[in-house]
Amino acid sequence: MITCFIRYKIDPFKRDQFADYARAWGQAIPRCGADLVGYFAPHEGSATTAYGVYSIDSLAAYESYRARLADDPLGQQNYEFARRERFILEEDRIFLRNVSLPHGALLPLAGKVAP
């Protein structure tokens, strides 16, 4: 399992448009095969940084998911909405994998890290 972290730089005067964009992905992303963690908009601190986070099985699964998302009617509308309204100034993504133990899990032996 890998998790995609999308960092957005958004227009601080168009945060409502970003919120609409995020809500639409809340429907389309799970329908197209990814496990959406959520979209996060500025609240305190930076007025221009936002994130989208979702998990997917692999990079191969990601490629299939992106094709489904591009064909999805709501996905197409959302891409067009972002292009037309220009509330996203920059977007970049990184794929990470979780290497920590589940919350509250104990290590097998005190002082030793499990492989």
Question: What's residue 102's pLDDT?
Answer: 72
Domain-located, residue 80: yes
Residue-range definition of the domain harbouring residue 18? 2-96
pLDDT at 109 over 70: no
Nearest CA-CA partner of 34 in 59, 71, 10, 8: 59
Element (H, E) at 21: helix 15-32
Domain-located, residue 113: no
Over range 87-99, report the average pLDDT: 96
Domain-located, residue 25: yes
* Total domains in the fold of the chain: 1
pLDDT at 103 over 80: no
Question: What's residue 114's pLDDT?
Answer: 52
Q: What is the chain's mean pLDDT, rounded?
A: 92
Over range 45-70, report the average pLDDT: 95
Domain-located, residue 101: no
Amino acid at 97: R
Residue 5 · residue 96 · CB < 8 Å: yes
Amino acid at 18: F
Which CATH number do you get for residue 14? 3.30.70.100
Domain-located, residue 103: no
Over range 82-108, report the average pLDDT: 88
| Residue of 10 and 109 predicted with greater confidence | 10
Mapping DSSP onto H, E and C, the string for 41-67 reads CCCCCCCCEEEEEEEECCHHHHHHHHH
Domain-located, residue 112: no
Domain-located, residue 111: no
